[in-house]
């Protein structure tokens, strides 16, 4: 690809997967943490109320582009169950950390990811731009998988307060990379957040469809629902295809 000097990447389902993590396990860790902290709840009562609260907060975040955080989901669920627990309660902070420990435990790079980043490092400015409510979890994941040294910029929605496709997150990525939008590519799996979000901001989107091609997406519902239309942008199913785009294969 001509005139590209920087490349941004989405995280989940683009660079990494958490294929073997079941939603119930992560929420189970959260509930066990709350109970260990002395909060009197039962799994049967808490789980559906928590999931409903999470869905409401996420739908609002997707509507207005402002990121939510799990502490509000937990606090709302507990308050609906009659517990006077505020979002900044340290018991909730501990429970959220425990919840995301499951994602850190199960995170694995898509085959060839580390080698691809190593091939690009020094030739392009590299950035990470992830929609994740709890930024420390994203940072620990890339650190655990040995990816941190490759990135010149890291933007996580939970830290910034906005989420893709809101323009502010792409502007923050460009600011940290120090490159003009016309010279910046962005690789992601989600058509709305990544592909249309990047394109509306003038970046060159590249659609990564590895997970879709492996039919491994349905386990978590981490990604937003995918529209059926196929975008008129470069599409890759593996990192060999990607490096070919940049004449580096």
Per-residue confidence (pLDDT) for residue 247, from 0 to 100:
79
Spell 150-170 as b/e; 16+ CB within 10 A means b.
bbebbbbbbbbebbbbbebbb
| SS3 (DSSP) at 22 | coil
Q: Which residues pair with 156 in a beta bridge?
A: 130
Q: Which two tokens mark 181?
A: 């939008």
Q: Are residues 154 and 227 in the same domain?
A: yes
Distance CA 198, CA 245 (A): 18
Residues 6+ apart with CB under 8 A from 170: 129, 164, 181, 186, 197, 198, 201, 203
Of 105, 123, 157, the position where a domain reaches its end is 105
Single out the residue in 89, 105, 121 at which a domain terminates. Answer: 105
Structure tokens at 224: 């937003």
In a domain, 1, yes or no: no
| Residue 234 sits in the same domain as residue 134 | yes
Residue 80 and residue 120 share a domain: no
- Residues 135, 232 within the same domain: yes
Determine the angle formed by the axes of helices 23-36 and 90-106, rounding to 10 degrees: 150
**Same-domain check for residues 53 and 168:** no
* Residue 90 burial (CB count, 10 A): 8
Pairing mode, strands 184-188 and 235-236:
unpaired
11 and 57 belong to one structural domain = no
168 domain residue, yes or no:
yes
Could you read off the pLDDT tens digit of each residue along the chain, which spans 249 residues?
669 999 999 999 999 999 888 888 999 999 999 999 999 999 999 999 999 999 999 999 999 999 999 999 999 999 999 999 999 999 999 999 999 999 999 999 999 999 999 999 999 999 999 999 999 999 999 999 999 999 999 999 999 999 999 999 999 999 999 999 999 999 999 999 999 999 999 999 999 999 888 764 455 555 444 444 556 899 999 999 999 998 775
Output the pLDDT for position 30. Answer: 97
Does 148 share its domain with 227?
yes
Say whether both 156 and 211 belong to one domain.
yes
Domain of residue 208, residue span: 6-18+107-245
Q: Give residue 227's pLDDT.
A: 44
- Considering 72, 105, 138, which residue would you say is the last residue of a domain? 105
Total count of domains within the chain: 2
C-alpha span between 90 and 198 (Å, rounded):
37
160/84 same-domain check: no
Rounded to two decimals, the pTM is 0.91
């Amino acid at each position: 690809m001509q005139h590209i000097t920087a490349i941004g990447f989405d995280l989940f389902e683009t660079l990494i997967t958490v294929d073997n993590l079941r939603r119930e396990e992560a929420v189970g860790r959260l509930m066990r943490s709350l109970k260990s902290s002395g909060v009197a709840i039962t799994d049967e009562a808490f789980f559906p109320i928590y999931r409903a609260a999470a869905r409401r907060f996420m739908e609002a975040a997707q509507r207005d582009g402002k990121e939510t955080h799990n502490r509000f989901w937990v606090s709302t669920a507990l308050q609906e169950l009659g517990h006077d627990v505020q979002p900044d309660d340290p018991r909730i902070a501990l429970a959220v950390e425990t919840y995301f420990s499951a994602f850190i435990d199960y995170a694995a790079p898509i085959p060839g990811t580390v080698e691809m980043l190593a091939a690009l490092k020094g030739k392009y400015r590299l950035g990470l731009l992830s929609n994740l409510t709890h930024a420390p979890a994203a940072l620990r994941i890339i650190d655990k998988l040995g990816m941190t040294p490759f990135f010149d910029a890291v933007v996580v929605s939970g830290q910034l307060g906005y989420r893709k496709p809101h323009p502010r997150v792409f502007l923050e990525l460009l600011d940290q990379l120090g490159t003009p939008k016309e010279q910046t590519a962005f690789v992601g799996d989600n058509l709305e957040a990544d592909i249309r979000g990047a394109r509306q901001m003038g970046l060159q989107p590249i659609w990564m469809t590895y997970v879709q091609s492996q039919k491994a997406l349905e386990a978590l519902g981490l990604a937003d629902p995918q529209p059926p239309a196929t975008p008129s942008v470069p599409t890759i199913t593996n990192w060999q295809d990607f490096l070919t785009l940049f004449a580096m294969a």
